[in-house]
Chain A
Amino acid sequence: MSTTQVLEFTRGPLFKFSLLVFTLGMLYRFFRILFLGWKKDYAPPRGSAWVGIVKTYLKSLIIFPFLPPKFPSSRHRPLTYIAGGMFHAGLFVVIFLLAAHIETWREVLGFGWPSLPTPLVDGAAVVAIVGLITLASNRFVNPVTRMLTGVGDWLNLLFVFLPLVTGWAMYHHLFGLDYTKLFIAHMVTVDWLLIWIPFSRLSHFLTYFITKTMHGAKFGRLGVEP
């Protein structure tokens, strides 16, 4: 089988398959929560649940990466907070704002959007990789996270690391490695990641919206800053 054929397989049928598994898995994860339902929150409202929801998203998703943390315990753990933010912000930029990836989205979704200049995205990728390595080492060094971390968590870190690093190596033709082979490695690691996400804690990026909304609603209803 020629390298071309391998590449075509990993970014053609295998990519499609991975996307389908990802769709199936994430919808399963999301809807089983909704179908199992939950009890009504009987806190008599002293404030508005919606205000709480808006506030919590503003504070932690939209403004969070750009402002110092408001809640004091994040200042106790600056490494987790900063490296976590760096990693997620970098990852977001790489996945959604790189011209090459936007072409992929255009093919998958049917529409695209403007991209960032590639050197900026390149920088974001480095930020994400450094953030990830920092998080990984912190997981080992910090006694709390060392106790909490299981095999699944290490695998999650690895499976996210590989696409980032192969993509970055590809763009930079690192060590004179063959672009096509790095492309194959990138596609294989991306395809695997897509399949792995719904069956691991990495699906948190979707269930986050459920817990965060519940959190904002709960504290909004109580009349407390979420």
Chain B
Amino acid sequence: MSEKTIYESLQERGISRRDFLKLATLITAALGLEYAEMPRIVRAMETKTRLPVIWLEFQDCAGCTEALTRSLDPTLTKLLFSDISLDYHETLFAAAGAQAEENKRRVIEEYAGRYVLVVEGSIPRKDQGVYCTIGGQSAEALLKEAAEKAKAIIAVGTCASFGGLPKANPNPTGAVGVDTLVKDKPIINVPGCPPVPEVITNTIAHILLLDKPPKLDPLGRPKAFYGQTVHDRCPRRPFYERGQFAESFDDEGARKGWCLYKLGCKGPTTYSACATIKWNGGVSFPVQSNHPCIGCTQPDFWDEGGVYNALSAPPGAAEARGLATGVAAAGGVALAVGHSLYAKKKKQKAAQAFQAQKQAEASQQAQEE
């Protein structure tokens, strides 16, 4: 049974050549490619068949799935959901239990080396992985099993990419991201809490159509979407430059659209497409809605020192104010006392030595006379 190409599937659904080319243009842009690349996309869609996908969820909140399915870009999302066969998804599948697990294993064997593994949620390692099990198997084992024959792995969300919320201090479950456990497969990290839906879909489309992962930054994130900081593209940047900041939530400055640096915005240290692609089809993003960026695409952002603490105001300095400073001050004064006493003793010794010397010189002089 030869599988239908994507173009054939679309034809079947009654989409004209013209609409198909329009779609191809849209996808070219979505992948961050130049218009000249469009023929490549067209050819890919004309020749490629459906892409099998296995979507595993571990220690997650399913927020990434929610974001994706609530994406308001129906054409692209529907395209992907109809043209990738979502052969296994914990949240979306109606099937459950042993049968669903059995089905997954069948897909792994049948499409060995050809399927894409999508992982959502972090993987716990403590206490033999008892904190997340499905059908009696630990998340780690499930991951290794599915990763072994995958073509590539996409870690969707900050939990899968870097460990996310479960990894925050004190990390009671020993949570880690995918690339801590899997070393021998290409892994694309698509972090965010949740990631911008279009970033997820566009990354999948890239693999689907161009057969290789997009260019990645040192943290394994697609450069096309994670190459610039929120700060670099923030519409409130002029206020940052001028030094006009909101002092408290919803104050006059905030309502005028002033910079949220003082309210803890992590925009300058956060690489994400939030400020350009935005959310809900380009309607808004946190800063635009008067909430500081919490830096959710960065590793360990939960431990990045307080959501509402400005980047330049290390939290916990207030704790140091009390005891630690008192101890340091006392230490300084004690050192000063110590040194003064030492100096005074030295002065006495010097005085004695000086006297002795003078007496010696005097007696020598007396002898000479």
Complex CA distance for A121 and B241, rounded to whole angstroms: 11
A32-B232 contact given A4-B299, A4-B300, A8-B305, CB 8 Å threshold: no
- Residues A104 and B318 in contact, CB atoms below 8 Å apart: no
A107-B314 contact given A4-B301, A36-B340, A117-B243, CB 8 Å threshold: yes
Complex CA distance for A7 and B325, rounded to whole angstroms: 23
Chain B contacts of A23 at CB under 8 A? 325, 328-329, 332
Chain A contacts of B299 at CB under 8 A? 2-5
- Residues B337 and A107 in contact, CB atoms below 8 Å apart: no
CB distance from B367 to the nearest CB of A (A): 37
Smallest Cβ-Cβ distance to B347: which chain A residue: A36
Chain B contacts of A5 at CB under 8 A? 299-300, 303
Give chain A's interface secondary structure class: helix
Q: Is B331 an interface residue (CB 8 A)?
A: yes
Size band of the B side of the interface?
Answer: 35 or more
Smallest Cβ-Cβ distance to B269: which chain A residue: A180
- Residues A121 and B243 in contact, CB atoms below 8 Å apart: yes
- Residues A107 and B162 in contact, CB atoms below 8 Å apart: no
- Residues B329 and A19 in contact, CB atoms below 8 Å apart: no
Q: Is A146 an interface residue (CB 8 A)?
A: no
Q: Is A219 an interface residue (CB 8 A)?
A: no
Most chain A beta carbons < 10 A, residue from B301, B328, B331: B328
Q: Digit string of B266-304 for contact with A (CB within 8 Å is 1, else 0)? A: 001100000000000000000000000000001111011
A11-B243 contact given A20-B328, A23-B328, CB 8 Å threshold: no
Which of the segments A54-62, A64-72, A108-116, A153-161 contacts the partner chain?
A108-116
- Residues B340 and A100 in contact, CB atoms below 8 Å apart: no
Give chain B's interface secondary structure class: helix
Q: Is B320 an interface residue (CB 8 A)?
A: yes
- Residues A16 and B331 in contact, CB atoms below 8 Å apart: no
We find that the number of chain A residues with CB closer than 8 angstroms to chain B is 46
Q: Is A196 an interface residue (CB 8 A)?
A: no
Complex CA distance for A173 and B267, rounded to whole angstroms: 13
Chain B contacts of A34 at CB under 8 A? 336
- Residues A118 and B340 in contact, CB atoms below 8 Å apart: no
- Residues B313 and A117 in contact, CB atoms below 8 Å apart: no
Q: Is A25 an interface residue (CB 8 A)?
A: yes
Complex CA distance for A220 and B162, rounded to whole angstroms: 67
Complex CA distance for A145 and B344, rounded to whole angstroms: 34
- Residues A119 and B241 in contact, CB atoms below 8 Å apart: yes
Partner of A179 from the list B269, B313, B331 (CB cut-off 8 Å) is B269
Chain A, 170-216, CB within 8 A of any chain B CB: 173, 179-180, 183
Complex CA distance for A30 and B300, rounded to whole angstroms: 41
A118-B332 contact given A2-B300, A20-B325, A103-B262, CB 8 Å threshold: no
Complex CA distance for A5 and B243, rounded to whole angstroms: 28
- Residues A100 and B317 in contact, CB atoms below 8 Å apart: no
- Residues A27 and B300 in contact, CB atoms below 8 Å apart: no
Smallest Cβ-Cβ distance to A172: which chain B residue: B241
- Residues B336 and A32 in contact, CB atoms below 8 Å apart: yes
Q: Is A87 an interface residue (CB 8 A)?
A: no
Q: Is A28 an interface residue (CB 8 A)?
A: yes
Partner of A100 from the list B261, B315, B328 (CB cut-off 8 Å) is B261
- Residues A12 and B339 in contact, CB atoms below 8 Å apart: no
Q: Is B312 an interface residue (CB 8 A)?
A: yes
- Residues B314 and A183 in contact, CB atoms below 8 Å apart: no
Chain A contacts of B133 at CB under 8 A? none
Chain B contacts of A30 at CB under 8 A? 336
Complex CA distance for A173 and B229, rounded to whole angstroms: 11
CB distance from B270 to the nearest CB of A (A): 9
Chain B residues within CB distance 8 Å of chain A? 162, 219, 229, 231-232, 240-245, 261-262, 268-269, 298-301, 303-305, 309-318, 320-321, 324-325, 327-329, 331-333, 335-337, 339-340, 343-344
* Known A110-B318, A180-B268; further 10 A-B contacts with Cβ < 8 A: A2-B300, A12-B315, A12-B316, A15-B314, A16-B320, A28-B335, A28-B339, A31-B336, A35-B336, A101-B312
Please, could you name 13 A-B residue pairs with CB atoms under 8 Å apart, sorted by A? A3-B299, A11-B305, A23-B329, A27-B332, A27-B333, A28-B339, A36-B340, A36-B343, A103-B262, A106-B313, A107-B314, A110-B318, A179-B268
